[in-house]
Homo-oligomer: A and B are copies of this chain.
Amino acid sequence: MSDNVAGYEVLAEQLHERGIDVENLEARLREQVIETPSWGYGNSGTRFGVFKQPGAARDVHERLADAAKVHEVTGVCRPVALHIPWDKVDDYDALKAEAAELGVVIGAINPNVFQDPDYQFGSFGHRDGAVRDKALQHMAECAQIMQSTGSKLMSLWFADGTNYAGQADLIQRKQFFEEGLQQTHDLLPKDARMLIEYKFFEPGFYHTDIADWGLALHFARSAGERAQVLVDLGHHAQGVNIEHIVAHLLDEQALGGFHFNNRKYADDDLTTGSVNLYEVFLIYHEIENATARGRGGDIAYMIDQSHIVKPKVEAMIQSVLNIQTAYARALLVDRQALADAQSEADTVLAEEVLRSAWDTDVRPLLAQVRTDLGAAEDPLAAYRSSGYFSRIAEQRQGELEGGASWG
């Protein structure tokens, strides 16, 4: 009997004594969904260079296979986000079938309007109407791919911005963006949503057209009712309270999803929780609070990170485990005790209620949940012992024809 299994019974008993409905808790953990990004399985780097990694996925098929492996060992990662054109194929029906065969599904479609040289000075924010039209055509193509693949989400990040004061007319760009996003909204499949991501800086160093949640919300509202905001954990200035933004957006019914990752200073795209997992816990705590108030919304939980020194699949598994941990602990918060402490302005006790949940070692619980899901008790160990990595490291030599990617 493993540590985790032994630990589970003790933990379940303790939780039970604390008045927690363990069965319901486990049910919620089994229902957790974390979407992994196809581009997270390929090479990436910093502006100083890309170090090619053994086994890095070279095309959408290899990326889907890696995502399926992550889902196999974690049990909660069925959807896979695609990036167009990197994941472009001729036959999306076949791609959908391929995904199904692998046990995964196509998640959010991510248009790319930043890599083509035409976009050097912007996409929807570009002064030249021809470039804006080109970007819109790409949106139309992506909407079509959503139809073909059954994706219900278009996830939009724009690199648009400027590097120097005077470079562009900021108000004019704002109006161009309003127009482009409204037109994109009209292109969406009827049962689909579009999520607008904001980012503080980079690659624009002077200004970014969608720099913060306030701008993202503005553009979402001007675009249409199926547009919402996407929160990427690495896209804020230092010191910003992200969970406060989350709470606000939820109460406004405007939060559509997350991009999980972590950072120490800028948009470092590190594995989620590597710097401060407590922040992710507090975010889930706010979501639970909003849910209890009937404002939980329909949130897509997606990972978006870029690992330079970690093997791709392992890094993804680590992030998934960390996110599961944060969520499980947030579910352990005694909400009644918290409300009671708050109502007496007992800051110390209120914080202790959170800490008590946070301090709980939920590994045995998650091992149990994963076992129940048919996944691995210890996903990293299972992955390492599966031989998957040595297989792909051997197979994936050289470039693939037609293989496109970030790095």
Contact = CB atoms under 8 A, between A and B. Distances in A.
Interface of A: 3, 7, 10, 14, 17, 44-49, 51-52, 114-115, 117, 120-121, 127, 159, 162-171, 174-175, 200-203, 205-208, 211-215, 217-218, 236-241, 243-244, 247-248, 250-252, 263-266, 268, 270-271, 274-279, 282, 285-286, 289-290, 293, 295, 307-311, 314-315, 318, 325, 338-339, 341-343, 345, 347-348, 350-354, 359-361, 363, 380
Contacts of A165: 243, 274, 282, 285, 351, 354
Contact of A315 (B46, B338, B348): B348
Contact of A159 (B48, B282, B289, B341): B48
A342 B205 contact: no
Contact of A265 (B168, B238, B243, B361): B238
Contact of A212 (B51, B214, B271, B318): B214
A247 B174 contact: yes
Contact of A205 (B14, B214, B268): B268
A159 B47 CA distance: 12
Given A166-B341, A237-B237, 12 more contacts: A49-B115, A166-B347, A166-B354, A169-B342, A171-B251, A171-B289, A171-B290, A200-B265, A205-B265, A206-B241, A318-B352, A352-B380
Q: How many copies does the complex hold?
A: 4
Contacts of A14: 3, 7
B213 A214 contact: yes
